[in-house]
Structure 1
Amino acid sequence: MSLECFRQLTQLLPHTPAVLATVIHVKGSVPREAGAKMILTLDRIFFTIGGGAGEGKVIQQAKTVLETGEPQLVQIDLTGSPNQLQEGICGGKMQIWLQRWQGSESLTLAQQIVDLLQSGHSLTLTTPLSPHQSPFLTSAHPLIPPSPHPLTPPPTYTETLHPPPTLLIIGAGHVGEQLAKVAHLAGFQIWVQDDRPDWANPDRYPQANQIFREPIAQILDCLQPQSQLYVALVTRGYLFDLEALTVLLQKQIPCCYLGMIGSKKRVRQVYQAIEQTGIEAAKLKTLYAPIGLDIGALTPEEIAVSIVAELIMVRRGGSGRSLSCRL
């Protein structure tokens, strides 16, 4: 969510200062990871660092930071100890750094981060844990000017921000439309490919950064630079699946995930046709088909949830098992 967070800052800072809350250290079981962020202004809150009483404490402290401009380090104890029970009982501890962003310098930095992430570049953001120094970028990228360093540097929090994963939805039908909505909420950058203008258009896909109406073979140059490419085939028919899969497998487009919708019979037909083209059968073993996790989904909306659940599982390294514990 780094891109969305800093994009939100670029929208806020021309009008109002904002406090950026960043989780800089975690220990044990906690609701969010190091690097998670929340933005607070006088009257609005964007994103979350975990919710509950712990986040409530951060919100209260952020009001002071917003007023004084003095950064603060907030300790959240979620171990459930008697003197900290009100903050939560997840089992761990968190440290959150609160810093006010305001003015042209902060806006320039936020816009620079957005531009780099949107162009597919990773970057390193260093935040001095000091009252008198601002965050800065440290990278050899030519778009980032060198930052001055103090003779005696304070403790810092350094994080690498990566561009969001890209989900290429091949097929702009009913499932694709719902998939774009759910995947966008889950933090994916949305691309859509379909040859039908009545379906593949910004009105139906307002979340899409790119809409392609050309055949798959003609957009390969756009796919190659994507370091985190996920592809979901939700086309209107067997021949469209076959065309897209043949191109992607023959050209060896690197995908973190390649999945195809359809019945087991349809999947087998595609596999058989693919093998006749001379593509190695081993390459088909990396394909997620039929697509999605088995949650009994029937409607396009439910199928979209099933697919995105599988995307998240692959991205985060989950197991797909139920989290229920029988006590």
Structure 2
Amino acid sequence: MIYDELLSLLSQDAVVVATVISTKGSVPREVGAKMLITCDRCIDTIGGGAGEAKVIAQAKEVLQTGEKRRIEIDLTGSPKRQTEGVCGGWMEILLERWQGDAAIVIAQQIIAELKLGRSLTLVTPFGDGHPYLLKEKGKRKKEKDSVAFIEVLEPVPILLIVGAGHVGEQLAKVAHLVGFQIAVQDDRPEWANSERYPQAAFIYSNIEQALEAFSNHLSLHVALVTRGYRYDLDALTALLNRDLPCAYIGMIGSERRVMQVYEQTKLMGISEDKLKSIYAPIGLDIGALTPAEIAVSIGAELIMLRRGGTGRSLSASLRNPK
């Protein structure tokens, strides 16, 4: 999480937070994307290339002066003016220096709330004034969008991997890489441990324990990659009876195995509507065979659902124009 990085850097010196605050057309990053710049380090990205180089250079000046800046990055590739790329769009970046005890306190509050699974609203005035958090959700003090950048910060999505076998081990690597906080559940300590799962922030021996820990988390994703039918059934029953619906439930297995689990859950009183929300067999159809390939296909499905993608090949529209 970028705010963990921010807090760590603030304990050493000032940090410029570069935030994408507006976009138009085709651009490499979305509104709210952030990059951290210090005198000798850059963390994350707002898109790379000449545009990012421009942001970094001006951020170094903001580090010295403390004066906020709003930078336009032209990616239209127009031959009539100097541009920073040819993606076809336009971005606006806000540079804000964070420094001192007040900034550390805000970063700590953000981290604490997000780790509890709560969303919160951060307001960054364009003029005088430092970033602050809204005390009551939905209230904006006196600021409007024209004088401040107002963003809702969402909790880091959690992926609970049920089943600590070969696929689970590879999935933890992939999902952690694309921004998920990892939790693992398995009743075998020789499989579910921090040595095999260094990415896991949480390891649980039973599904009830895991669901209790995340009972209030709004962005719980679950991948059922267990070693057998009985474990699928136990976990799925508990997940579908959760008071707060999961953001995603995917289950590994052949169509036959999936249908057997479904039939058993129906006999236990689980409605068909709930079963329709499950992604099973799990992952996108990319012809995956090995545990690592299967993990990539699951990771791709998680990204697709999180970002609103289609799973369609990006080259399809050029290869098969209408």
Normalised by the length of structure 1, the TM-score is: 0.90
SS at match of 1:56: helix
Taking the TM superposition and a 5 Å limit, the aligned residue runs for 1:63-142 are 63-84=60-81, 86-130=83-127, 132-140=128-136
Q: Contact (CA 8 Å) 1:77, 1:94: kept in 2 or not?
A: yes
Q: CA deviation at 1:134?
A: 1.1
Q: CA deviation at 1:253?
A: 4.9
SS at match of 1:82: coil
Q: CA deviation at 1:309?
A: 0.6
Write the distance in 1 (CA, Å) between the matches of 2:242 and 2:157.
20
User: Is residue 11 of structure 2 the alignment partner of residue 14 of structure 1?
Assistant: yes
Write the distance in 1 (CA, Å) between the matches of 2:132 and 2:243.
38
Q: Contact (CA 8 Å) 1:224, 1:254: kept in 2 or not?
A: no
From 221, 245, 257, give the equivalent of 1:230: 221
Q: In the alignment, residue 309 of structure 1 is paired with which amino acid?
A: A
Cα distance change, pair 76–147 in 1 and its aligned pair in 2 (3 A): closer
Report the equivalent of 2:279: 288
Normalised by the length of structure 2, the TM-score is: 0.92
Aligned residues, how many?
317
From 148, 155, 171, give the equivalent of 1:163: 155
Report the equivalent of 1:323: 314
From 251, 255, 266, give the equivalent of 1:264: 255
User: Is residue 36 of structure 2 the alignment partner of residue 39 of structure 1?
Assistant: yes
Identity %: 59
Taking the TM superposition and a 5 Å limit, the aligned residue runs for 1:179-258 are 179-214=171-206, 216-251=207-242, 253-258=244-249
Write the distance in 1 (CA, Å) between the matches of 2:96 and 2:209.
46
Q: Contact (CA 8 Å) 1:80, 1:88: kept in 2 or not?
A: yes
Q: CA deviation at 1:314?
A: 1.4
Q: Contact (CA 8 Å) 2:218, 2:244: kept in 1 or not?
A: no
SS at match of 2:149: strand
* Gapped regions of structure 2 (runs ≥ 5): none
* Gapped regions of structure 1 (runs ≥ 5): none
Cα distance change, pair 317–148 in 1 and its aligned pair in 2 (3 A): closer
Q: CA deviation at 1:148?
A: 9.1
Write the distance in 2 (CA, Å) between the matches of 1:208 and 1:98.
33
Q: Contact (CA 8 Å) 2:172, 2:200: kept in 1 or not?
A: yes
Aligned-CA RMSD value: 2.3
Report the equivalent of 2:290: 299
Write the distance in 1 (CA, Å) between the matches of 2:280 and 2:78.
47
Q: CA deviation at 1:161?
A: 0.4
Q: In the alignment, residue 204 of structure 1 is paired with which amino acid?
A: R
Write the distance in 1 (CA, Å) between the matches of 2:270 and 2:142.
54
Q: In the alignment, residue 181 of structure 1 is paired with which amino acid?
A: K
Q: Contact (CA 8 Å) 2:118, 2:217: kept in 1 or not?
A: no
SS at match of 1:66: helix
SS at match of 1:91: coil
Q: Contact (CA 8 Å) 2:117, 2:219: kept in 1 or not?
A: no
SS at match of 1:87: coil
Question: How far does the alpha carbon of each residue in 1:257-306 deviate from its partner, in whole angstroms, 9 at most, with x for none?
Answer: 11111122222222232233232333322211111001111221111110
Cα distance change, pair 112–280 in 1 and its aligned pair in 2 (3 A): closer
